A and B are shown apart, each in its own frame.
Chain A
Amino acid sequence: MAARRQTRAPVFAALGDQTRLALVRKLCGGRPYSISELTHGSKLTRQAITKHLRVLESAGIVHSVRRGRESRFEFDPQPIEGIKQYLDSVSEQWDQALSRLKSFVEE
């Protein structure tokens, strides 16, 4: 739990940007994308896209895989799943606490 917790803030932070969310939406389709493919149709430069990809990479949301001379980026659902599980576990803690409160005030 602690390990997961420590990696959560960067995941939230990495997703707190429209460009990166757009990249994630594209990448979570399933296949790896090259930087050229991700830059194509975008107003941003290759350099800017690369910078955003590195932020996503450092949060573990994407991984780069080398193919020949080119890096490709692929989506890893695990960090986002981690956030979801974390919220679910906090939610469950509240269910338990509130049910204890209910017994406490209704007795």
Chain B
Amino acid sequence: MKDRIEKRIELKASVARVWRALTDYREFGEWFRVKLDGPFVPGQVARGQITHPGYEHVKWEAVVLKMEPERLFSFTWHPYSIDPKVDYSKEPPTLVEFRLDKTTSGTLLVLTESGFEKVPSDRRADAFRMNDGGWTEQMKNIEKHVAQKS
């Protein structure tokens, strides 16, 4: 089982164009379907309201980490936090990274979302501490078994 999501997509647009679509809060809002309150600033919380049909009641929140022009844009968030009754702030956030590379036809965008395996940082954390890096490998084995069973 993968503990991260990775997507690679070729875009027929310049790196500068893609960078703007990712990091200008109004442009980001257009395709991501969120109305953000203000610009993205590294180290600061970005807030807004989802505009995706059917999910207009959902607030959007992320902590912007890195903005290296035309190379890397990253933030942490709680993916899929659509139930207003659930306090997602107690769950470990995941890390979203957009990496840009110039190609002959435009831009290669690599998106990764990682950190799904992290455990809540409450006082039980020590008892549940991960052994270094074994998770992904072990989950592969377990997934095989699960797949056979179901």
- Which residues on B sit within 8 Å (CB–CB) of A69? none
**A100 near B11: Cβ-Cβ < 8 Å:** no
Instruction: Confirm or deny: B101 has a beta carbon within 8 angstroms of a beta carbon on chain A.
Output: no
- Which residues on B sit within 8 Å (CB–CB) of A95? 7
Interface residue from A16, A25, A77, A94 paired with B149 (Cβ < 8 Å): A77
**A17 near B21: Cβ-Cβ < 8 Å:** no
| CB-CB nearest in chain A for B14 | A105
CA distance A30 to B129 in the complex (A): 28
**A25 near B83: Cβ-Cβ < 8 Å:** no
Taking each of A14, A86, A89, A101, which has the highest tally of chain B beta carbons within 10 Å of its own beta carbon? A101
Q: Separation in Å of the B103 CB from the closest CB of chain A?
A: 14
Instruction: Confirm or deny: A13 has a beta carbon within 8 angstroms of a beta carbon on chain B.
Output: yes
CA distance A100 to B1 in the complex (A): 27
CA distance A16 to B30 in the complex (A): 38
Residues of A within 8 A of B (CB): 1-2, 5-6, 8-9, 12-18, 21, 24-25, 28-30, 75, 77, 80-81, 83-84, 86-87, 89-91, 93-95, 97-98, 100-106
State the 9 A-B residue pairs at the shortest beta-carbon distance, nearest first: A2-B83, A105-B13, A28-B145, A13-B119, A100-B31, A104-B31, A13-B128, A21-B138, A101-B31
Residues of B within 8 A of A (CB): 1-3, 5, 7, 9, 11-13, 17-18, 21-22, 27, 30-33, 79-80, 82-83, 85-86, 91-92, 109, 111, 113, 116-120, 124, 128-131, 134-135, 138-139, 141-143, 145-146, 149-150
